[in-house]
Chains A and B, each alone.
Chain A
Amino acid sequence: MKTQTYTLNLGPQHPSTHGVLRVVLELDGETCVGSKTHVGYLHRGIEKILEDRTYPQVIPYTDRLDYLAGINNNLAYVQTIEKLMNIEIPERAEYIRVMLSELMRIASHMVGIGIYIMDLGAISAVFYPFIEREKILDMMSHLSGSRMTFNYLRIGGIAHDLHPDFKPALDQFITEFPRFIEDYHRLIDENEIFIARTKKTGAITAEKAMSYGLTGPNLRASGVNHDIRKTNPYSIYDRFDFEVPVGENGDCYDRYVVRMKEVEESFKIIQQAYKELPNGPVMAKVPKLIKPPVGDVYHQAENPKGVLGCYVVSDGTPKPSRVHFRRPSFNNISIFDEIFIGHKIADVVAILASFDFVLGEVDA
């Protein structure tokens, strides 16, 4: 019998492309035999816009890269500038920065895991992580007045000290969160269908992952122990005791496991930072007009999605000559075209979801 392949346009409007990713699949029945990923539907030209902004004005734009983890982006950018200007920031600000970054990592992973399981068909599984995320977003809105686009960190510290409402909310979160982790493990980990769908699906070898520039949980799931917080500690991450979870097979199941473990490690860091939180000022003495010296600097930070690199070129004026972001999701999803081949449509969706990418970051 003569058969032929056909083209299926997955996205940009599709429930499981997490926004506006477009994948053109060449299908033989249900099996994918060819794939081409198109990005750029959310391109806002942030890097061009930033040429016309002063250094502090850049911070709100970083919120909109990986909009699920704004604080982490803020942190990477302000640290780049601090590195360029050699600013020492106060202890208390460092602790608060780390604490908030880890809270955001939990919030981001909650979305990642929840949406991932939902795309596998278990719709209820998205609601439990979102409840936890909601608690974090509530805390953050106490601090910054905004749920997702915080603009809370400043070059030289943080905008203002912790809000009085923040501490009770964090106390409550710390007492309630372990219960959620336990429940969620019971719900998902040994679910027969979940295992059947994710084990050996979209497996990536360590070499492939490194060659394609994967970072973050997606790289660690393939068995590469690489976490900038451990290998090249920035801020005060070297003071905390935490593990870097690593997977074995690099399949969809491992990506879930690594994220879940990472959430627990972040929770450990939060508890430590909260306990040791010192008193003092939260802003260093920085000039009113921020004019870094001529030069360029590259700084990397471990974001929930992977390594966020920030490259800033300064020409000595109050506006940066060039700001470039290495967006982890952009590198992560470049592997899609290769790993989709040979999988069923349902697996393609599972792989898409297991990568936990954010289009705001991919397209910049």
Chain B
Amino acid sequence: MEFLNNIFVYIAQWIRETLAALGFTPVWVEMGMGTVYLVSILGVCTLAALFYVLWERKLAGYIQYRPGPNRLGPNGWFQTVADAIKLLTKEDVVPCGADKPVHLLAPVFIFVPTVLALAVVPFGKGMAAIDLDLGIFYLIAVTSLSTIPIFMGGWGSNNKYSLLGAMRAVAQMISYEIPLVFSLLGVVLITGTLQLQGIVAAQSNIWFVFLQPVAFLIFIIAATAETNRAPFDLPEGESELTAGIYTEYSGMKWALFFLAEYCNLFIVSAIGVTVFLGGWQGPLLPSWVWFLIKTHLLFSFFIWIRWTFPRIRVDQLMNFGWKFLVPLSLANVFITGIGVYIYYNGLGW
């Protein structure tokens, strides 16, 4: 049991010892381990995207009374692989008049914040590639970068639909960043730490979703908006903007955007699980299994939302963000602050 629980930690240790035994100096050992971490994060990223693309299609099919992909492999589980191969072999089309470097770099850059964010996610007990003291702060800083490649894609495509989508994306992601941060701040106030492992450890008795239900709700809404998922999928808004920012992207470039979308949603689910749902904590099963189960459930919840609601309009989106979510999240932080003060200092009389 203990072995299963720590299997990945042991593997990392073994690699480290082997590298040392081979006679590398400590600097090189660290460099080697860095490479190992990077490769495993990229692996997680790709695997998660590949799996969830199919899972979403299956679940959507279930919601809509249809089988979903069911042709290739057992129950259609190889469908995404086939799709990926098809996308890889497609012609690379660059629209005329496009800002070529910007257009081409956007799909590459969109993966940077994704990979950076995964580096600090605690997949299990002692299983974060880097356990930063400023974990949450780092996460927020890094994920907010994803606005830039999306805007690059919209701007560089030389298409009005793309440009409109990009404008919407920027407005939306900046607006919803604020409630997202404030919703996490409540938890930080309670635990007094920004370190993700510390936050998980603080939930050994009670999950923060029960202490901070409002914050959790705000987090879910803001996270849906941050990842541009329905009902906040305005930047893509297929019935309005054909495909919004992705209009001029095809083949591998589009696939990268697509994979990044799923990776981002995976990260957002992982953050939600870590901060509000007790992270990797749970009885009996190994910690990383618990983490994956919880993330999977939260991810499925996002899918359920997406396939149920109509899309909100752009002015309603802004109103909702600034006039409702921001004040609500501020109030939440304020009340949490008072509660924490009373908890630690008594009522003072």
Contact = CB atoms under 8 A, between A and B. Distances in A.
A344 B315 contact: yes
A336 interface: no
Given A16-B240, A127-B65, A127-B66, A30 B160 contact: no
B238 A344 contact: no
A350 to B, nearest CB: 8
A193 B314 contact: no
B308 A124 contact: yes
A147 B313 CA distance: 36
A194 interface: yes
Given A121-B233, A124-B307, A197 B239 contact: no
B242 A128 contact: no
Contact of A346 (B230, B307, B313): B313
A169 interface: no
A193 B65 contact: no
Contacts of A121: 230-231, 233, 237, 239, 309-312
Contact of A122 (B66, B240, B310, B314): B310
A233 B115 CA distance: 68
A8 B308 contact: no
Contacts of A197: 310-313, 316
Interface in B89-117: none
A39 interface: no
Given A6-B160, A120-B239, A131 B310 contact: no
Give the residue among A15, A117, A123, A349 with the most B Cβ atoms within 10 A.
A123
A196 interface: yes
B310 A117 contact: yes
B63 interface: yes
Chain A interface residue bracket vs B: 20 to 34
B164 interface: yes
Contacts of B230: 121-123
A346 B240 contact: yes
Contacts of A193: 231, 309-312
A142 to B, nearest CB: 22
Contacts of B65: 127-128, 131
Instruction: Give 5 closest A-B pairs by Cβ, nearest first.
Output: A121-B311, A120-B310, A127-B64, A122-B310, A119-B239
24 contacts: A8-B160, A118-B239, A120-B310, A121-B239, A121-B309, A121-B311, A122-B230, A122-B310, A123-B60, A123-B64, A124-B60, A127-B64, A127-B65, A128-B65, A193-B310, A194-B310, A197-B310, A197-B311, A197-B316, A344-B313, A344-B315, A345-B164, A346-B240, A349-B239
Interface of B: 60, 63-66, 160-161, 164, 230-231, 233-234, 237-242, 307-316
Interface of A: 6, 8, 14-16, 30, 117-125, 127-128, 131, 191, 193-194, 196-197, 344-347, 349, 353
Given A128-B64, A196-B312, 16 more contacts: A8-B161, A121-B233, A121-B311, A122-B309, A123-B307, A124-B60, A124-B307, A127-B65, A191-B309, A193-B231, A193-B310, A193-B311, A197-B312, A197-B313, A197-B316, A347-B313
